[in-house]
Amino acid sequence: MDDAHPRSSPYPQDLVRHVAISTGLDEATAARVVADVLAYFGQTVDEYVVRRHQELKDRNRKNDAIWPQLVNELKSRRFKADAVSERQLRRMVYPDRPR
């Protein structure tokens, strides 16, 4: 069996079947969609902050605008994170900078 086959997927098969049926996707594609969504929501706070910071920087946003946006985004995540300060956010993004 190849890894793209849904039966070899580590994801719940009932969820894969539900996505396949509700979207009209084949099960292999539905399994990839499920994997992508679960990986997105499975990120740690640190991983999310670093990824989003880079996305926003790539859109020419400045840190003064990014930190408050990240604080608000973390409040609305599916699995809410503990409240973090802008200083904690900076430490996640720039862990090696002197303090």
When divided into structural domains, the chain yields a total of 2
- Please give the pLDDT value at position 5: 46
In this predicted structure, the answer to whether residue 3 has a pLDDT above a threshold of 50 is no
Q: Which residue segment(s) compose the domain that 13 sits in?
A: 6-41
- Under DSSP, the state recorded for 4 is T
Determine, yes or no, domain membership for 89: yes
**pLDDT tens for each residue of 48-70:** 999 999 999 999 999 999 999 99
33 with 56, same domain: the answer is no
The residue among 64, 92, 63, 89 whose CA lies nearest residue 75 is 89
Q: Mean pLDDT across the stretch 83-99?
A: 86
**pLDDT tens for each residue of 20-38:** 999 999 999 999 999 999 8
